[in-house]
Structure formats: C-alpha cells, structure tokens
Amino acid sequence: MSAAADHPAGHRVDHTAVPIQGAAGNPVCPPEWLALREPADADARSTALADAVRDLLPPGPLLVRDLGCGTGSMGRWLAPRLARPGGQHWVLHDRDPVVLSHAVASLPGGVTAEAGPGDLTGLGADALAGTSLVTASALLDLLTAEEMDALAAACTAAGCPVLFTLTVSGRVRLHPEDPLDAEIGAAFDDHQRRDENGRRMLGPDAPAAAAAAFARHGARVRTADSPWRLGPDRPALLREWLAGRLDAACAQRPGLAAHAGAYRDRRERALDAGELTVSVGHTDLLAVPGERS
C-alpha cells in the first residue's frame, strides 16, 4: 500500500502517495488497496476547499500537477469539480510505473494527462512555471520537515496555489473503546514519525507543519477536517485499516505483540457483529500565494 493511515510496516495503509525519495519503481501501494479506499477518500475530501480553489483559478485551460498520484483517484474526484471551457491537462507524478500508467489512462473524459517525473525532490519553482494548481492526496506525512518547506517554497515562488487532501492528523476514535487503543495509537503515531533511510517523516505532524511552511512563505492557508468514517458499510476497508495499524504499532513497540492477538480478536468480533465504527482523522489544506489570495 502506500505509506499508511496510517502507514504500517509491511502493510502501508492510508495513502495513495509514494515517498518523495526511495527506489524508483519500487511499488509502495498496490492498486487493490487504492481501489478499496477510493470511495472513502471521495466521501472524506473537503468539497468546500475544492469549490474555493475552483473559484480562484483563472478562466481558460488549466495545467494541474498531481504529486504522488497513485492510480489517479484525486484526478477522478477533482477534475469534474474544476470543469471549465478550455479544458484541463494533468501532469501526474508517481514513482510506481504500474499505478502511474493506470492513472494516466483513467482520468475523466475531456481531461488530458501525461506522466511526469516520479522523483519530486527536484520539482522547484522553475519546473512549476505555467502550472495552475498543484495537488496531492495523502502525501504530506511521508515528507520530512525539510522537504515540506522546500515544496512550500517552490509552490509559492511559482505563484501556484495548492490543494493537498487527506493528510493524516493522528486523530483516531474507535467505538466501542478498548483499553489498548491509546497505547496502540501512540505506537502507531511514533511509527509514522520514524526515521527511514536517514529521513525522519512528519507523520501526523504533517498538517501543522504544512500550514506553517506555506504561511512562512507568504501564502494564505485554509484547512478543513476530512476524516474517514468507517463502519459496517465498509467492512473490508475497516478490516485492512485495523490490520495495518496493529502491525505498525507492533513493529514500533515489539512489546505490544504479546497483547496484539487478543486485541485483534476483540476488534474482529466487534467488526463481524457490525458494532465497530472508526473515525480516522485527516486534514485538507488550501494554500494560495500572496498575489493570488
């Protein structure tokens, strides 16, 4: 999967995005997971921020860059909301060529698309020249603080607004509650902030870090909560999310493994009985450079 809701070890849950660094072509998030989560993503994203970005964009054709595009779910959700005379051209960026080829072929009718560089570390202001909008879904928690600042600097220097959706916030609520929820949640959040190949990822600190970075570079920032709401209507997604979260927590704190089996059983029984519901917190962010705000 991608890096997860939630990013578990082995199982990467809660992201369509791929790391900004890492081995090119190394699949991070299988298409099956992306398909499973796409309806929940679509329900969660902030339509208010999408409407706001539509209203601020100039008339005429649009050039949109989708960072860490996965199979293209952001384009399928957002492009119809940006529809206008002149059309749209999307440049899709992802390090996984399998999902990238699917994304290019899957955007709605009337929208043209092409594959862009998968390594986003060199995506500076010059590369963004002429871009109408930069967007991404479930990407920012995979970045380091330095990468987040560089991305904010590039977008604002290019005068390019951004719409970033579904950044995990660490706010998770399960019902009914379980005595182990808090400890597993804390271990999971630590796992999201782990140092991987010399990069310390932002994890659930990403929403605040992104808002601060864009404000520091002179953009006007708006945020909105965009939680997944999972329950009996989405048992497959909820089951996969639970498994990935528990795996990641145990990878971070091996001592939890002694209790993981019983916890998993309790949660599985509640899920099978249709009694388990979860709110998985995310934050959407709209940042508009000063001259466009």
pLDDT value at residue 33: 84
Asked whether the bond before 117 is cis by omega within 30 degrees of 0, the reply is no
Residues of the chain with pLDDT under 50: 1-27, 293
Cα first-last separation, the chain: 36
pLDDT value at residue 27: 43
Specify burial of residue 41 (Cβ count, 10 A radius: 0-12, 13-18, 19+): buried
pLDDT value at residue 3: 36
* Sign of the CA dihedral running 155, 156, 160, 165: positive
pLDDT value at residue 245: 96
Alpha carbon distance 269, 41 (integer Å) = 26
pLDDT value at residue 292: 53
* Sign of the CA dihedral running 103, 105, 110, 114: positive
* Sign of the CA dihedral running 54, 58, 63, 65: negative
- Phi and psi of 14, rounded to 5°? 75, 30
- Total-model pTM: 0.90
pLDDT value at residue 30: 75
Residue 147: alpha-carbon gap to chain centroid: 15
Do residues 66 and 89 make contact, with C-beta atoms less than 8 angstroms apart? no
Alpha carbon distance 118, 67 (integer Å) = 8
Q: What topology is assigned to 31-170+198-227+280-292 in CATH? A: Rossmann fold (3.40.50)
